[in-house]
Structure 1
Amino acid sequence: MKKKGKYVLVGIILASFVTIMNFQNKSYAGSNTNINQARQELANLEKLDVSEIEKKIEEKNKPAVVEEEAQVTANSNIDFKKYFENSVFMGDSITEALSEYAYLDPYNVLAKKGQTVVMAKQSVPNLKAMHPARVFLLYGMNDVESYDSVYFKQQYTQLISQIKAVLPSAQIYVQAPFPVLSKAVFSGKMLTNDNINKFRQAVKEMCDEQNVKYVDVTVLVKDSSMYEPDGIHFKYDFYKTYLTYMHDIINK
């Protein structure tokens, strides 16, 4: 046993002994059974490997899962291809990954690396031919490199109007641009969270004005481990949480 492990074990044994002594002082009468039980637990503790003890301590101190995350992961067995078979996801490379990672069929993803809201308008005829019941849009990551938030909002409004014109009965969900990590600035000097926040606010205002559903997907980004090394795109496992969240949004 390593020296550090011995200290950990001794500390735990002493702590357990103090607990037993306190218990004896408080309720000695009629409590022999409980005291013997505590002594047995102490004996069992001594037999445990130090690594097992440390593991138990870590498990006990693990922070509780937040309610929102629990709700998202509760529906982890959804057949995404089946559920979203009458939906189309439009966007840039972040959305394109839905088909590249095979979470959705290519038919349900109308996205391409480098896409902006201006470019997206060229895809409206294809969207019309697909005739989806739901349309999910995610733009802003490339737009922030091309123009300001005012122009972005104007062009996004035009895109929404065009979609409404060709698909009047479709439900439209517009997603907030995702935040990026600080390293993302190496991909473009304008790609900062301060600038993205302005675009996100523009998206929210546009949704209110156009009476379409605004989806704050930023709540899904809990830490940097979800990102690819570029600090912009997301790893494979993230998309399962993402699509489950979209499922829950639809069913609220």
Structure 2
Amino acid sequence: MLKKVCVCLLTGAVALSSAACVNNGTEKPSNKVTQNATHEKTSKDSAYKPIFKNSLFFGDSITEGMIDQELIEDKNIIADKGKVTAIAIEEDINKVIEKKPEHIFMSFGTNDLLMPMDLEGKPIENPVKFSTDNYSKLIQKIKEKLPNVSIHLLSVTPVADKVLQEHPQYKHIDEYNVKLKELAKAEKAEYIDLSPIFEKNKDLHDQDGVHFKANYYKLLLEQLKGAVK
């Protein structure tokens, strides 16, 4: 059971901040940066559904945006707005295990970097270490029940310059990805660097500068499909 705590993702003079209280796991941390994205729909495209039929996409609202695109089945996605690794440990492990996937594509970190305190209300001095430590626990708990599952850790995606100016915590994204790559090696998982998508394609961000337009998700699945073959 989660203790009743207040997980503030953004603080002080940040105009987009809001306090989200976690009460017995029934409410999730939220912030307007992650909540206000509008995910454009693409036309129905079933080409990816058979490719990823035995896969699970597990993450936060960026992953949740895949639901709107109808590129893969909804049952192959476990994702929520404002989700952080610490709460995923508390809420989602059984859901993941019940799916019995062959592949899990995990995408966390965007919200973790904004957390000023942990679920006990204690200040987080090093958000990168705090998050990757929880990421490790999350992987280990899943592999205890699904020892043969292939886990793929997706790099944290970049934010637009305007977001970086408003939320300087995101300057740690590159550092986070370095540690995530090290974590993947330690946990015998695959680290997948998504930076080539952004090097080759411009204007992928939605208006909020954190989430993505519809065309991003096809580019993402194109890159990931090789991991399941």
> Whose RCO is larger (CA < 8 A, sep 6+)?
2
- How far 1:248 sits from its partner (Å)? 2.1
Give the aligned CA root-mean-square deviation in angstroms. 1.7
1:178-217 to 2 correspondence within 5 Å? 178-185=157-164, 189-192=167-170, 194-217=171-194
Equivalent residue number for residue 74 of structure 2: 106
Please give the secondary structure, in 1, of the residue aligned with 2:203.
Answer: helix
Which consecutive residues of structure 2, in runs of 5 or more, have no partner in the other structure? 1-44, 116-123
Partners of 1:249 and 1:239 in 2: CA distance = 16
Please give the secondary structure, in 2, of the residue aligned with 1:80.
Answer: coil
TM-score, scaled relative to structure 1: 0.65
- How far 1:78 sits from its partner (Å)? 7.3
- How far 1:106 sits from its partner (Å)? 1.3
Equivalent residue number for residue 80 of structure 1: 48
Equivalent residue number for residue 95 of structure 1: 63
Maintained 8 Å contact 1:204/1:214: yes
- How far 1:189 sits from its partner (Å)? 2.0
Please give the secondary structure, in 1, of the residue aligned with 2:106.
Answer: strand
Following TM superposition, where does structure 1 have runs of at least 4 consecutive aligned residues deviating by more than 6 angstroms?
none
1:227-242 to 2 correspondence within 5 Å? 227-242=205-220
Partners of 1:144 and 1:203 in 2: CA distance = 13
Higher normalized strand content (fraction of residues): 2
Partners of 1:224 and 1:180 in 2: CA distance = 12
Larger Rg: 1
Q: Deviations over 1:65-114 (max 9, x none)?
A: xxxxxxxxxxxx87111211111100111101111221122110000111
Maintained 8 Å contact 2:47/2:71: no
Partners of 1:200 and 1:94 in 2: CA distance = 16
Higher normalized helix content (fraction of residues): 1
Please give the secondary structure, in 2, of the residue aligned with 1:221.
Answer: helix
Equivalent residue number for residue 132 of structure 1: 101
1:1-252 to 2 correspondence within 5 Å? 79-121=47-89, 122-146=91-115, 147=124, 148-185=127-164, 189-192=167-170, 194-222=171-199, 223-251=201-229
TM-score, scaled relative to structure 2: 0.71
Count of matched residue positions in the alignment of Structure 1 and Structure 2: 173
* Identical-residue share of aligned pairs (%): 26
Partners of 1:211 and 1:127 in 2: CA distance = 19
Equivalent residue number for residue 16 of structure 1: none
Maintained 8 Å contact 2:46/2:72: no
Maintained 8 Å contact 1:226/1:234: yes
Maintained 8 Å contact 2:103/2:228: no
Partners of 1:235 and 1:135 in 2: CA distance = 23
